[in-house]
Structure 1
Amino acid sequence: MDGLCTDDPAFSFLPSRLVLAFALLPLAFTVAPCKARPGHAIAALLDLAVWHRPPADAPVSPFSPSVATALSPGPSVIQIIHHQDLNKRILVALIVASALLFGVLSLVFCFWISRRRRLKASGKKGGQNSDAAQGLALNPAIGKFSSSAIGGKQGSLAVFEYQLLAAATNHFAESNLLSEGGDGLVYKAHFSEKFVAAVKKLDNVRLDSQRGFENEVNWLSKVKHPNIATLLGYCIHGESRCLLYEMTQNGSLEEQLHGPSRGSALTWPLRMKIAVDVAKALEFLHERCSPPVVHRDLKSSNLLLDLDFNAKLCDFGLAVTAGNQNKLKIKLAGSVGYLAPEYLCDGKLTDKSDVYAFGVILLELLMGKKPVEETTTAQRQSLVTWAMPQLTDRAKLPNILDPAIRDTMDLKHLYQVAAVAVLCVQPEPSYRPLITDVLHSLIPLLPSELGGSLRVSENLSAEALKTSAEPLD
């Protein structure tokens, strides 16, 4: 008995038991739950394979129930789990986790949307007052209104309540009517004892009027210049549209030249000042704006005069931007007597079209006549057609001047202004000067006291620089 006995029945099936042990070895790492370490499980399997012989008639299988029950007699229980079942459990777990994650993200997204809507709604309510407060700082004149007078702010313009404008104009009474144009009526609006503004009212707005209104608001909210009218705000009420401008105490150039005073308030220096102011406004539009802007409706009624007779260009309802070559072909619009021939006949519009209209205004300032005059034969005659032959004749020129300024200026200066006017109203656009050249030609003719470079001689009375008429109400 000192050696191994090969006849012992316990060793007769040893190879088959070793095969069983190695077959059960991978299951030692997949059983669950198992409190013993992997080394212990392997030892148990080997022990089972060596010392426990299965019945002769039982098939040897690593998944046999008899093997599973004999693996651990103690508290540690080893359960064999099929790989297919394990994969199913993992798949179910992933689906459940994904569903939970999607639900959490959906709740967070819904909460964020709800909160954003609440903040936006509260912002609109509180923003009306803040917008109105911001609108008060847009222009010094707007600061005279109370915050309740302004309904809000759109871009850089204040939006006014219709009831406020109606009250300020006494419900647009005829007694407050300042002027009547083709596109609307202008009323004086008394907002307080110290502040008066002008309200332009458009009723039964058609498509063209609506476009003009939108164009006016668009341009005057962007274009800022001392010689361009200041738009304080606007109002939309049903089919009515209102534009609120800063008041110009001396009305328009048309009222001064062709109204009851017949130009008596406009001395020669003041007329030169108006011409220079208009040239400055056009130079800003043509040379400083990008792209250049063509006003398209330059006329004396669209030139407003403030208390000091500073000219301000208004009514941008027809203004357009020029193309890369400063050349357009668009629908005909404007006022008879101011339209350039190439625009009137061919619909071609350039900045030289504004220069032509400026030349007509120079002729109005020189002669005090309207751009189109009624003749004795009940026919209409153009001021340009009538004046051109006489403008180039120095002997006739002084005789056709406005009686209000005749013999009040240096004839040399008169000839220079007449020469500029002749160039501006040339039928061929290429012969007309740029507005910059026109401005540089007029500034030396304007007294330095009024912003020019001309030094007033001693024989020119200082009273000639002032108006003798009271400002228009």
Structure 2
Amino acid sequence: MGLGSCEVAVALLLFLSCSSSVYGDAGDNITTSQPIKDPEAIVSAGNKFKLGFFSPVNSTYRYVGIWYSNISVATPVLWVANRNNPINDSSGMMTISEDGNLVVLNGQGEVLWSSNVTNGFNQSTAQLTDDGNLVLKAGPNGNLVWQSFQQPTDTYLIKMRFSANARTGNKTLLTSWRSSSDPSVGNFSAGINPLGIPEFFMWYNGHPFWRSGPWDGQNFIGIPGMYTSVYLRGFSLQDEGDGTFTLSSIQDPAYRLAYVLTSNGKFTEQYWDYGKQVWEYNLEVPSTECDIYGKCGPFGSCDAQNSPICACLKGFVAKNPDEWNKGIWTRGCVRKTSLQCDGIQNGTEVGKEDGFKKLEMMKVPTFAQYCPNTYSEQECKDECLKNCSCVAYLYYKDFGCMAWTGNLIDIQKFSEGGKDLNIRLAYTELVSGNKRNMKVIISMSVIVGAIAIFICVFFSWKWMAKHRERKLISEETLSFKTREAQETVFDGNLPENVRQVKLEPLFKLQILETATNNFDISKKLGQGGFGAVYWGKLPDGLEIAVKRLSRTSGQGREEFMNEVAVISKLQHRNLVRLLGCCVEGEEMMLVYEYMPNKSLDAFLFDSLRKGQLDWKRRFNIINGICRGLLYLHRDSRLRIIHRDLKPSNILLDHELNPKISDFGIARISGGNEVNTTRVVGTFGFMSPEYLMEGRFSEKSDVFSFGVLLLEIVSGRKNAHFYSNEHALSLIGFAWKLWNEGDITCLVDPAISDPCFQVEMFRCIHIGLLCVQELAKDRPAVSTITSMLNSEIVDLPPPKKPAFVERQSSVDTEAITQSQKINSINNVTISDLNGR
């Protein structure tokens, strides 16, 4: 409801005032025998609020609403009953229906709005209280069965309570008017976001538009004026203990105060000035471009006082410099120098310990996590340094320690207020301003430069002669290693069709260096045990992803040649296409088609992005993975077992269609079960016979698919499970709910929809069939396809899955400690000795 909606015509109020003298106000109650008819009204006992019929400015439609009583000037409408179903004339009526509900009827007796209470009751009475709350009471004891405060429109009043549950996703929301003359549901909504430390959010068509910053126990720290406004300080946010947070006002009810979400996306504070006898406006957010959510993208900071308003944080550079220079900042920034933790995880050389850069007077990023058991700033800093995924922290003496992981979104520089945010940087970035270190760097640069010039002079005359020889050796090396890889990946005799595998084309190193801007860090898409993956664009405009084998990696060479032999000739819409490779000297690279939406886990386990995967998209992804797996097991020339099927290895194209990737540990099978002494894969997705005995077959991939299917339906990770849910893993939790007949609790709240409930439950049933402990009990992929498409209607009951029993306390403690040390587990290959 914009400010224009507050200018409801004075004539309307005069009309209602005159009407009450003719028709008489019906006290503060509505009953079956005492309805209100247009233009009648009821007034609260203390004459503070009035409920009746009104028409918005520039409209002839009639609505039932609540507004302040006994104010001489135009007053905003605070609540609307039939906001989506207006009355065309003045024949409307609000009354109690036969089933006890409060309803709004038109002249033909049609129900345009109802309180819609489903529990049976009688002897109902509706009352307008002095808080502005319309309540419905039933029975001889007057039990409260419904209230307008639980279904607000665009206005928050002092006695309202906003609630949000982090587990169920249920929220109390304000929803804006569509325009100042149309009170139907508009584009903006607002309420509490309970994820991490709770914040007050405004959404535009479901997407974040503005946020208040986290709650510090007294205020939302992203609203500087909240510390000085007598009105804004009057809030309380309570943790109800079951994942529910409730925001309520602790202000004096004598204030005539309202917070309004306008139709043009402004959240305003409006209060009645008794002295001036006018409505005043104390707050309006967002007030600048920098208040818009994520204006400068990840690791970008917005300052409304600067031009341009967006800048990368210290130690970061624009991810796409061309877009950034044009004022397109949404892709944000990336690190210039990797952190020490990244070096430890990737097996590269480890430098000095990371440190922190303090940024003063900042609006801190979204989705802060509270760090318990940290009683000082030093402890807060130390806890963040211990956790490799921690990229920033804040210590606030009246609250404690906040920490952030992943991308830092929606950072803003304030001219006043704000907090001191500490950003994690590599040691070299922190000392870059030190003059003494600069002298050392300059001296070393001169020495290294002189040596480099000498080496260039010494070897330049040899380059032309050796260039042809090196190319010939590289081609021979590729041919030899391809044959070697074919013998390694095939467990049995080498078939003729494998001997004929050739990889084309061979890309020149110079072409790939040009395409990736010499493998610039801003082009980096990800990191694995093999090395890094970079985005690039070929001269013809084709976008590619280049997997570059790290020279310092202890793994990857065998996987590189394995992938060459396995998928060079595989063609399927649900498999990532290998375009070619590059082998020059020590450089070994694979070139793939580029997937713009990255991997499935980037959506599935991201609280902001998972909403983009509705059930239809998730079911399409499940079917696509199953079709790709069917091709590998049955329809391709070579029968292939993937051995590492998981969300991070499912890539999504621009239309969110799935493509199976990463065949570095895949094996070509003759169709029978195979034994191996080298168990590779990812914990949580390996079948029991493979993990414990080194035996793998097509049913091993079926087990991984079952885990993946349960993760897609539930939106939860199998390996990172809540310890208070009495299950070792997602599999165990699903099995527990299945036996209890409460499988609804497993479905991700982001996709919960009764229309698709049967299809979701069927997928959970199929997932449990796939993770059964014995391989012989699991269905083949061709059977799974028929089950998904309901070609097989009656599914057999699942038997007990693997890994459902919780380990002993000693084992559990060991697992917990392991997870704490290795806080990021995105390495794709585990290497174990089979027993």
TM-score range, shorter chain: 0.5 to 0.7
Matches of 1:431 and 1:211, distance apart in 2: 33
As a proportion of its length, which structure holds more helix? Answer: 1
What letter corresponds to residue 559 of structure 2 in structure 1? G
Matches of 1:266 and 1:202, distance apart in 2: 33
Correspondence for 2:529: 182
As a proportion of its length, which structure holds more strand? Answer: 2
Are 1:356 and 2:703 matched, yes or no? yes
Asked whether the 8 Å contact 2:727–2:733 carries over to 1, the reply is no
**More contact order relative to length (CA 8 Å, sep ≥ 6):** 1
What does residue range 9-158 of structure 1 map to in structure 2 within 5 Å? 155-158=502-505
Structure 1's 233 and 370: CA in aligned 2 closer, same or farther, altered over 3 A? same
Asked whether the 8 Å contact 2:532–2:550 carries over to 1, the reply is no
Q: Deviation digits for residues 320-362 of structure 1, max 9, x if unmatched?
A: 1223534333410001110001100111101100000000110
Are 1:411 and 2:766 matched, yes or no? no
Matches of 1:259 and 1:237, distance apart in 2: 39
Matches of 1:186 and 1:217, distance apart in 2: 16
* Segment drifting more, 203-212 vs 431-440: 203-212
SS at match of 2:588: strand
What letter corresponds to residue 370 of structure 1 in structure 2? K
Are 1:368 and 2:715 matched, yes or no? yes
TM-score by length of 1: 0.58
Identity percentage over the alignment? Answer: 34
Structure 1's 157 and 443: CA in aligned 2 closer, same or farther, altered over 3 A? farther
Once the two structures are TM-superposed, the CA of residue 380 in structure 1 deviates from its matched residue by 10
What does residue range 373-392 of structure 1 map to in structure 2 within 5 Å? 373=720, 375=722, 381-392=728-739
SS at match of 1:215: helix
Once the two structures are TM-superposed, the CA of residue 287 in structure 1 deviates from its matched residue by 1.4
Correspondence for 1:308: 655
Are 1:254 and 2:609 matched, yes or no? no
Matches of 1:254 and 1:351, distance apart in 2: 24
User: Which of 230, 242, 251 is the equivalent residue of 2:589?
Assistant: 242
User: Which of 345, 352, 369 is the equivalent residue of 2:692?
Assistant: 345
What letter corresponds to residue 717 of structure 2 in structure 1? K
Once the two structures are TM-superposed, the CA of residue 208 in structure 1 deviates from its matched residue by 4.3
Count of residues in Structure 1 that have an aligned counterpart in Structure 2: 294
Correspondence for 1:9: none
Correspondence for 1:319: 666
Q: Deviation digits for residues 162-205 of structure 1, max 9, x if unmatched?
A: 22212222222222222222322221113358432111111116
User: Which of 506, 513, 520 is the equivalent residue of 1:173?
Assistant: 520
Correspondence for 1:292: 639
Matches of 2:595 and 2:754, distance apart in 1: 27
Q: Deviation digits for residues 215-266 of structure 1, max 9, x if unmatched?
A: 1111121222111110111112333321111111211111111246341211
What letter corresponds to residue 513 of structure 2 in structure 1? A
Q: Deviation digits for residues 77-99 of structure 1, max 9, x if unmatched?
A: xxxxxxxxxxxxxxxxxxxxxxx
Structure 1's 228 and 330: CA in aligned 2 closer, same or farther, altered over 3 A? farther
Once the two structures are TM-superposed, the CA of residue 290 in structure 1 deviates from its matched residue by 5.0
Matches of 1:339 and 1:269, distance apart in 2: 28
Matches of 1:336 and 1:409, distance apart in 2: 35
Q: Deviation digits for residues 379-413 of structure 1, max 9, x if unmatched?
A: 9943222322114544x222232122112642221
Are 1:433 and 2:771 matched, yes or no? no
What does residue range 386-405 of structure 1 map to in structure 2 within 5 Å? 386-394=733-741, 396-405=742-751
Asked whether the 8 Å contact 2:721–2:729 carries over to 1, the reply is no
Structure 1's 288 and 324: CA in aligned 2 closer, same or farther, altered over 3 A? same
Asked whether the 8 Å contact 2:673–2:695 carries over to 1, the reply is no
Are 1:443 and 2:789 matched, yes or no? yes
Are 1:282 and 2:629 matched, yes or no? yes
Asked whether the 8 Å contact 1:249–1:305 carries over to 2, the reply is yes
What letter corresponds to residue 165 of structure 1 in structure 2? L
What letter corresponds to residue 752 of structure 2 in structure 1? R
* Segment drifting more, 304-313 vs 357-366: 304-313
Asked whether the 8 Å contact 1:177–1:187 carries over to 2, the reply is yes
SS at match of 1:201: strand
Structure 1: runs of 5+ lacking an equivalent = 1-120, 129-153, 446-473
Asked whether the 8 Å contact 1:330–1:349 carries over to 2, the reply is no
Matches of 2:516 and 2:728, distance apart in 1: 38
Asked whether the 8 Å contact 1:296–1:318 carries over to 2, the reply is yes
Structure 1's 206 and 269: CA in aligned 2 closer, same or farther, altered over 3 A? same
Matches of 2:682 and 2:669, distance apart in 1: 20
Correspondence for 1:11: none
Asked whether the 8 Å contact 2:507–2:581 carries over to 1, the reply is yes
Matches of 1:261 and 1:191, distance apart in 2: 33
* Segment drifting more, 191-200 vs 341-350: 191-200
Asked whether the 8 Å contact 1:371–1:382 carries over to 2, the reply is yes
Asked whether the 8 Å contact 2:578–2:591 carries over to 1, the reply is yes
Asked whether the 8 Å contact 1:391–1:422 carries over to 2, the reply is no
Q: Deviation digits for residues 6-57 of structure 1, max 9, x if unmatched?
A: xxxxxxxxxxxxxxxxxxxxxxxxxxxxxxxxxxxxxxxxxxxxxxxxxxxx
User: Which of 618, 622, 632 is the equivalent residue of 1:271?
Assistant: 618
TM-score by length of 2: 0.33
What letter corresponds to residue 204 of structure 1 in structure 2? R
Structure 1's 199 and 392: CA in aligned 2 closer, same or farther, altered over 3 A? farther
Structure 1's 166 and 186: CA in aligned 2 closer, same or farther, altered over 3 A? same
Asked whether the 8 Å contact 1:236–1:242 carries over to 2, the reply is yes
